[in-house]
Structure 1
Amino acid sequence: MADAPLFTAERAAEFAAEADRLLDFTAGAKTTGGFGWLGDHGEVVERDLELWITCRMTHVCALGAAIGKPGFLELTEHGIRSIADNFHDERHDGWYAAISPDGSRPTDATKAAYAHSFVILAGSSGQAVGAAGAADLLTHALAVHDRFFWDESQGMTRESFSGDWRTEEDYRGINANMHTVEAYLAAGDVTGDQLWHERAGRIVTRAIDQLARANSWRIPEHFTADFTPLPDYNKDQPAHPFRPYGATPGHALEWARLTLAAAQTLGGPAWDWAYDAASALVAGAVTDGWAPDGADGFVYTTDWDGTPSSHARMFWVLTEAIGAAWALHHVDGSAQWRPLVEKWWAYAKAYLLDLDRGAWHSELDATNTPDAETWVGKPDTYHAIQAMLLPRLPLTPSFTTALAARGAPEAGGTGSA
């Protein structure tokens, strides 16, 4: 039993109002071909449509549908059709990384595990809310992932291929594997097929119980094809959007939540290590990442001794900090997490929420001033909306499945275990 609920009624209501505001912003991303990249004012930026954004926004729309937001089932179905029709490679199978703004032709035929994990997530979330075509998309996406991306010998996912699948990238990344965990957990929840839960568990065990544990809980991000760590990879790019040098505190926070979700999903003594590991990940991320340069906020990346490499403050890291505290609270019921959540939410309100133009600033500089060194505009709302829905959610099953099963609870829910 929890010592105290993580979210007060006042805070839960505040999160609910912010979730509604974020969903309104999300609706503006709809385009002919899918969902577009949004600018600072919520306008669709004239650029190619990217698979990962269309999939993530489809998932966000499904979250909106699950809590009963009018029009969001239709937006979810628009996303499902766009992925299935516009992004799908009819000749080689899989989904294009990018297509033209009108959705008529591919502009990047690369087949990447990161983006394909979000095809699975979009299909899973769509199926959870009964969106037309979602079940077929999910079945197809899982078959593609199983055929091309899953590496049975490593218990991890491969990174990317050329458009015809003939050339495989000689690189493995923890980011694609992390989002594959999220996708596999969601797929297992909606299909009832334990295989996807088991594979998610294998990835978590390798990434956290082995690789992170052996590296003082600073998670190695980049690897050779046999998963030998590459600690100096992209050393000259500490603020790269997808493959930054060094350790990423935000990923440690995200992995903490996913580790506990996998442990609760799979259960048993084989997962006795999970809570201590998640606690160590969060403790390390807070020690290394929160205000190490004297200003509030989580830095983006650090060197392997914890020294900041990129002092940028990315909005998504703050949301994952709240998510990690929420997950730990579900397990230990401790009152220690509420002051941290309150501090982080106060920071978000002071610096990240853009109440004038909508959504959240994607990036701040070391002085907490909006910046665009890495991210221009407000590409998607995935991280922020998930954090704002936490007071309504259990630790498992996955977000959309849980919301669809429960309906829309009162805003004052505590989110305690």
Structure 2
Amino acid sequence: QQLAERSGGMIWEHYDTDWQPDWDYNKNNTKDEFRPYGFIPGHQFEWSKLLLWLDRHRSENWMTERAKYLFDRGWNRGWDAKYGGLYFALSPQEEVIDPDKNYWVVAEAISAASLLGVKTGDSGYWKAYDALFSYCQKHFIDHTYGGWYQLLNQENERYSSKKSPAPKADYHPVAACYQTLIALDSL
């Protein structure tokens, strides 16, 4: 909660030794796999998901509200209304700086949307879930050989036929589906 407050509501990618946002670390390098620059909508969804996992085991009042906030903010800033999908990175001013679509970002959003849909009963999260899954069915999932393509441009064209890379493999898509099944089983 404190880190999000320090960066205007979303969780920034990099902090200094005093846990203040480091707005310049790795500046202009959104393609660093483990240290991308910007607000990464995918990480807002992932934090939302993780908070809801924790909530299952040790619920605290703030967890669901923060999970909703992070999801909603990531969705409102990250969803591409023209082409569908989720942008990869936003500037400190929350403007799109990397319009590419990355497979793991959508997978984390699917998981968070389903968990929030079950937890809150808000049909808006199920609408987001449906939009995300339909988008993946159309653009990311290889229906012939399996797996999810790694990266698309803003217009949803694949850069290559490369699938989920090591070390991630298919962790994000499989975990998203698994968490959705667990959430639905609790209904």
Q: Normalized against structure 1, the TM-score is what?
A: 0.42
- The alpha carbon displacement at 1:378 in A equals 2.7
* Bigger relative contact order, structure 1 or 2 (CA pairs below 8 A, ≥6 apart): 1
SS of equivalent residue, structure 1 residue 346 = helix
Contact 2:147/2:163, CA 8 A, preserved across alignment: no
Matched, 1:232 2:18: no
1:320 corresponds to 2:108? yes
Contact 1:314 1:362 in 2 (8 A): yes
1:275 corresponds to: 64
Equivalent of 1:386, from 150, 175, 181?
175
Deviation at 1:216, TM superposition (A): 2.7
Contact 1:232 1:246 in 2 (8 A): no
The one-letter amino acid of 2:101's match is R
| Partners of 2:143 and 2:170 in 1: CA distance | 14
Q: What's the CA shift for 1:376?
A: 4.9
Pick from 113, 116, 132 the counterpart of residue 344 of structure 1. Answer: 132
Residue 416 of structure 1 and its aligned partner are, at CA, apart by 4.9
Residues 336-390 of structure 1: CA distance to partner in whole angstroms, max 9, x if unpaired? 2222111111100110001223201011011101125xx9543201011112223
Counterpart of 2:145 in structure 1 is: 357
Is residue 253–residue 324 contact of structure 1 (8 Å, CA) maintained in 2?
yes
1:250 aligns with 2:39: no
Q: Does 1:335 align with 2:126?
A: no
Cα distance in 2 for partners of 1:392, 1:357 equals: 23
Q: What does residue 309 of structure 1 align with? A: 97
User: Which protein is bigger by CA-based radius of gyration?
Assistant: 1
Write the letter of the residue equivalent to 1:363: L
2:87 matched residue in structure 1: 299
Distance 1:389 1:262 in 2: 16
Does the 8 Å contact 1:300/1:310 carry over to 2?
yes
Matches within 5 A, 1:43-54: none
Letter paired with 2:136: A
CA distance in 2, matches of 1:297, 1:286: 10
Contact 1:218/1:304 (CA < 8 Å) preserved in 2? Answer: no
User: With structure 2 as the length reference, what TM-score do the two structures score?
Assistant: 0.89
Gaps of 5+ in 2: none
Change (3 A) 1:242 1:324: same
Q: C-alpha deviations, 1:49-93, integer Å up to 9, x for none?
A: xxxxxxxxxxxxxxxxxxxxxxxxxxxxxxxxxxxxxxxxxxxxx
Structure 1 contact 298–318 (Cα < 8 Å) conserved: yes
Q: What root-mean-square deviation, in Å, do the aligned CA atoms of Structure 1 and Structure 2 show? A: 1.9
Secondary structure of 1:273's partner? Answer: helix
Letter in 1 for 2:89: T
Contact persistence 2:149–2:162 (CA under 8 A): no
| Percent identity for Structure 1 against Structure 2 | 27
Q: Corresponding residue for 1:152?
A: none
Q: How does 1:85-234 map to 2 (within 5 A)?
A: 209-234=1-26
Asked whether 1:370 is paired with 2:161, we answer: no
C-alpha distance in 2, partners of 1:231/1:212? 14
> How many residue pairs end up in the alignment?
184
The residue number in structure 1 matching 2:57 is 265
Aligned in 2, Cα 1:304/1:248: closer, same or farther, shift over 3 Å?
same
1:231 CA drift (Å): 1.2
Q: Which residue, 49, 71, 77 being the options, matches 1:288?
A: 77
Q: Aligned with 2:39: secondary structure?
A: coil
- In the alignment, residue 286 of structure 1 is paired with which amino acid? W
Question: Would you say the 8 A contact 1:314–1:364 is kept in 2?
Answer: yes
User: Does structure 2 conserve the Cα–Cα contact (< 8 Å) formed by 1:329 and 1:416?
Assistant: no
Residues in 2 aligned to 1:343 and 1:285: alpha-carbon distance in whole angstroms = 15
Instruction: Say if 1:391 and 1:279 are closer, same or farther in 2 by CA, change over 3 A.
Output: closer
Shift of 1:314: 0.4
Deviations 1:107-150 (A, max 9, x none): xxxxxxxxxxxxxxxxxxxxxxxxxxxxxxxxxxxxxxxxxxxx
Q: Given residue 351 of structure 1, which amino acid in structure 2 is its aligned partner?
A: H
* Secondary structure at 1:224 match in 2: coil
Q: CA deviation at 1:328?
A: 1.3
Aligned equivalents of 1:262 and 1:391: distance in 2?
15
